[in-house]
Amino acid sequence: MRNIDLLIQDIDQAHTPAQLVQAVHALADTRNERAIPTLISVLGFNNPGAAIAAMHGLVAIGRSCVDSLMSLMDDYNYGARAYTVRALAMIGDPKALPILLSCAKTDFSPSVRRAAIKGLGKIHGEWVEMIDYSEVLMTLQSMLKDQDWSIRYAAIVALDGLGKLSHGISTKAIALLESSKTHESDLTVKSRMEMALFRVNFDQDRQPVSCI
Amino acid sequence: MHEQQSNVAANELTTTVAINQLRSPDLSLRYYAAWWLGKMRVHEAVDALIVAIEDSEDRTELGGYPLRRNAARSLGKLGDIKAIPALIFALNCEDFYVREAAAQAIEEIASQPQGSISAQVAVVPLAKLLSSQDYRDLEQPYEAILEALGRLKANAFKHLIEPFLQHTVVRIRLAAARSMYGLTGDDQYADLLVDALSNPDINIRRVALTDLGEIGYLAAASVIAHAQTENSFKLFALKGILDTHLPNVNQDSELLENLQQVMLLMDDLL
């Protein structure tokens, strides 16, 4: 797999932001597990295009990068942390649930919190029976009372996701949305809530939440 | 704005203490209180802040008035029309940053439903600051002035605003475009902001995003969602679009559908 080393070298030697993005895409497209450490390090580069390409590359590799993503979580760079959390959420492995819960509750950066909260509603359908949802629901319930509209918005998106699962959790998620409808004062957040409720009420064929 | 954090130390202040601190012998406490009262949206503080915006004791070595700047910013956040005369007076302060904060505060007050008519008295004083004929000059806080005039729909002064579309500074050109859109509703001006989303300078892209959110330019929603900036800037810009149009969705199912598409774009940015 000499090829992978060369692609990694291209990332190290990129001279412009555009070259970097291109090199990251090339490495990500291999879906090779040996690319994992490099792709994770790119999440911390100050280049959104490259970071997004790396994140999608990691998601495409899937479950085998979950351990590395969790152990290499960047405690100092909240941009990198947000991409890590998004990747974990999209992969949907329940192993990442404790990290998503703690980021949702305590991360100082709203962007990390939003990503983690949304992730709580994106647990992959095939693992749905393995998950204890009580803490997820409790967390989302408290997020619906956050001062920051974007945190409340993310909680609604998560509940919208859970509400569409073909699982007992969906009824509870919908009930939470219903119960907070009257307290919401922000027009955008309220409208997103109404959209979620409209969709769950009229969507007879409940689909498992998709992975991406 | 985009990475707001709750400030634990700030919560230790109480409203009354903070209002009293605006007259503290310790000038740094005055300065901090003026910021805190706006941040915490303490509406009872309006009268005290109107006094503070004329403070002459807190001066920098270069002659600036830090307390006045913070008082003006907080009066903008509080959005009370009572502050308008004091803010107009501050437009003539010798400190550039006080003038800038005052113009921004007038714009903020004018963006509220009850403020747009009351703030009309600021149009002429604002327009007077545009009298320069040299479009390389940076004597005045042009961005803030142009944006306030756009918000106030100051059509009588269109001839003073339009030339700033040619200013040498990109940010001032963008402010003029936003202003002209406010005046005319003509898409060609909003499209100048859309073009700036592909500017190589990320700061310019951020300004254009914020402006498009402020003017609520629905046609740009998808371009905003895909711009090369941090998700949080895009999220807040899309929120601005929704806040502009959601009040009009009654009876208009097509508009609601379009706005729901914007929400789905926002979901992807979380």
Task: Please indicate if any CB of chain B lies within 8 Å of the CB of A117.
Answer: yes
For residue A183, count CB atoms less than 10 angstroms from its CB and return exposed for 0-12, middle for 13-18, buried for 19 or more.
exposed
User: What is the interface size between A and B, counted as CB pairs within 8 Å?
Assistant: 53
Query: What is the residue whose two structure tokens read 């009872």?
Result: B44
Range A144-158 average pLDDT? 94
Q: Are residues A197 and A118 in the same domain?
A: yes
**What residue in B sits closest to A199 (Cα-Cα)?**
B260
Check whether residue A110 and residue A205 sit in a common domain. Answer: yes
Residue B11 lies in a domain: no
Q: Is residue A19 part of a domain?
A: yes
Q: In the prediction, which pLDDT does A80 show?
A: 92
Backbone angles phi, psi at A70, to 5 degrees: -70, -40
B97 and B137 Cβ atoms separated by less than 8 Å: no
Q: Which residue is it, tokens 């390409």?
A: A53
Contacts of A117 in chain B (CB under 8 A): 270
Other CB atoms within a 10 A radius of the CB of residue B54 amount to 14
Q: Do B6 and A49 touch (CB under 8 A)?
A: no
pLDDT, tens digit (0-9, with 9 covering 90-100), for A93-122: 888 889 999 999 999 999 999 999 999 988
Token pair listed for B193: 């902001």
Model confidence band, residue B7 (pLDDT cutoffs 50, 70, 90): very low
Q: Do A148 and B235 touch (CB under 8 A)?
A: no
- A120 and A207 share a domain? yes
Min Cα distance B16 → chain A (Å) is 22
Residue in the block written with tokens 């805190």:
B36
A144 and A58 in a single domain? The answer is no
Q: Is residue B114 part of a domain?
A: no
Contacts of A195 in chain B (CB under 8 A): 260, 263
CB-based contact A49 B259, cutoff 8 Å: no
- Could B270 and A153 be called an inter-chain contact, meaning their C-beta atoms sit closer than 8 Å? yes
Q: Are A105 and A140 in contact (CB under 8 A)?
A: no
Judge whether B209 lies within some domain.
yes
DSSP string, A16-69: SHHHHHHHHHHHHHT--GGGHHHHHHHTTSS-HHHHHHHHHHHHHHGGGGHHHH
- Say if A78 falls within a structural domain: no
Q: How far is A129 from chain B (nearest CA, A)?
A: 25
Last residue of a domain, one of A13, A38, A72: A72
Residue B241 lies in a domain: yes
Tokens 């003006």 appear where?
Answer: B72
- Same domain? For A119 and A209 the reply is yes
B98-125 per-position pLDDT tens digit? 999 999 999 999 988 888 899 999 999 9
One domain, residues A12 and A67: yes
- Full domain range(s) for residue A5: 1-72
Residues from chain B that touch A191, judged by Cβ atoms under 8 A, are 242, 246, 259, 263
Query: Which residue shows structure tokens 């992975």?
Result: A211
pLDDT for B4 beyond 50: no
Report the CATH number at residue A16.
Answer: 1.25.10.10
Please determine, for residue A183, whether its predicted confidence score (pLDDT) is greater than 70: yes
User: With an 8 Å Cβ cutoff, is A79 touching chain B?
Assistant: yes
Mutate: best of A146, A188, A193, A202, partner B, most B CBs <10 A: A188
Question: In chain A, how many domains are there?
Answer: 2
- pLDDT (0 to 100) of residue B11: 53
* pLDDT computed for residue A209 by the predictor: 46
Contact A188, B239 (CB under 8 A): yes
Nearest to B270 among A115, A148, A188 (CB): A115
Could you tell me if A61 and A112 lie in one domain? no
Residue of A nearest to B235 (CA): A150
Q: Distance (Å, rounded) from C-alpha B241 to C-alpha B266?
A: 11
Tell me which chain A residues have a C-beta less than 8 angstroms from the C-beta of B5: 108, 110
Tell me how far apart the 2 most distant CA atoms of chain A are, in Å: 60
Residue A211 has pLDDT above 60, yes or no: no
Q: How far A156 CA lies from chain B's nearest CA (Å)?
A: 10
Helix H or strand E encompassing A72 = none
Whether residue A208 is contained in a domain is answered as yes
Query: Is the domain of A24 the same as that of A99?
Result: no
Asked if residue B78 belongs to a domain, the reply is no
The tens digit of pLDDT for each residue in A75-84 reads 888 889 999 9
| Residue B3 distance to chain A (closest CA, Å) | 6
* B210 found inside a domain: yes
- The answer, for A188 touching chain B at a CB cutoff of 8 Å, is yes
pLDDT in tens, B185-196: 999 999 999 999
CB B193 within 8 A of CB B179: no
DSSP letter (8 states) at residue B163: G
Query: pLDDT tens digit string along B130-167?
Result: 976 666 678 899 999 999 999 999 999 999 999 999 99
Give the domain range for residue B269: 203-270
Q: Is residue A16 part of a domain?
A: yes
What tens digit of pLDDT does each residue of A167-182 get? Answer: 778 888 888 998 888 8
- Tell me what the mean pLDDT of segment A46-66 comes to: 91
A107 and A5 housed in the same domain:
no
Distance CA B40, CA B50 (A): 17
Is there a single domain that holds both residue A136 and residue A174? yes
For residue B266, pLDDT beyond 90: yes
Cβ within 8 Å, pair B3-A153: no
Q: Which two tokens stand for residue A127?
A: 């693992």
Query: Residue B234: its chain A contacts at CB < 8 A?
Result: none
Taking CA A150 as the corner, what is the angle to CA A145 and CA A152, rounded to the nearest 5 degrees?
25
| Chain B: residues touching A (Cβ < 8 Å) | 3-6, 228-232, 235-236, 239, 242-243, 246-247, 259-260, 263, 266-267, 270
Give domain status of residue A111, yes or no: yes
**How many structural domains are present in chain B?**
1
User: pLDDT of B52-76, one tens digit each?
Assistant: 999 888 888 888 999 999 999 999 9
By the CB < 8 Å criterion, does A114 face chain B? yes
CA distance B239 to B221: 10
Asked if residue A108 and residue A64 are part of one domain, the reply reads no
Q: Do A153 and B259 count as a contact with CB atoms less than 8 A apart?
A: no
Statement to judge: residues A110 and A212 lie in one domain: yes
CB A159, CB A196: distance < 8 Å = yes
The whole-number pLDDT of residue A203 equals: 56
Q: What is the pLDDT of residue B125?
A: 96
Does residue A80 belong to any structural domain of this protein? no
Q: What is the pLDDT of residue A125?
A: 62
Through-space distance between the first and last CA atoms of chain B, rounded to whole angstroms:
16
Residue A57 above 60 pLDDT? yes
A149 — contact with chain B (CB < 8 Å)?
Answer: yes
